[in-house]
Amino acid sequence: MIDDTETQENREYWEYEPSSQPPYLTPNYKSTVIRSPNKPQYKLPRTLTETTGPLFTQDDLVADEYDLSVNAKGDAAIGSLMVMDGFVTDEDGRPAANTLIELWQANSAGKYHHLMDTRDAPGDPNFIGAGRAVTDSEGHYRFMTIKPGAYPVPNSGNYWRPPHLHLSLFGRSFMSRMITQCYFPGDPLNELDHILHGVPDVDAKERLIMTFDPVVGVHEHALGYRFDIVLRGRRATPMVG
Ligand SMILES: [Fe+2]
Q: How far is the CA of 4 from the centre of ligand 1 (A)?
A: 35
Q: How far is the CA of 37 from the centre of ligand 1 (A)?
A: 22
**CATH label of the domain that carries residue 122:** 2.60.130.10
Residue whose C-alpha is closest to residue 99's, from 170, 175, 176, 177? 170
Which pLDDT belongs to residue 176?
75
195 lies in some domain: yes
- Name the 3-class secondary structure at 16: coil
Instruction: Count how many domains the chain has.
Output: 1
Show Cβ contacts of residue 45 under 8 Å, excluding neighbours closer than 6 positions: none
Residue whose C-alpha is closest to residue 98's, from 140, 61, 65, 56? 56
Residue 14 has pLDDT above 70, yes or no: yes
218 lies in some domain: yes
Residue in 16, 151, 183, 225 annotated catalytic: 151
The span from the CA of 28 to the CA of 138, in Å, is 38
Range from 8-17, 20-29, 124-133 carrying the lowest mean pLDDT? 8-17
Q: Give the residue numbers spanning the domain of 158.
A: 18-33+53-230
Q: How far is the CA of 125 from the centre of ligand 1 (A)?
A: 19
41 lies in some domain: no
Residue in 132, 166, 232, 235 annotated catalytic: 166
Is the CA virtual torsion 241, 171, 173, 208 positive or negative? negative
Residue in 132, 164, 194, 232 annotated catalytic: 164
Which pLDDT belongs to residue 5?
53
For residue 37, the 8-state DSSP code is -
2 lies in some domain: no
Q: What mean pLDDT is reported for the chain?
A: 90
When comparing pLDDT for 13 and 45, which is higher? 45
171 lies in some domain: yes
Q: How far is the CA of 230 from the centre of ligand 1 (A)?
A: 21
Q: How far is the CA of 150 from the centre of ligand 1 (A)?
A: 9
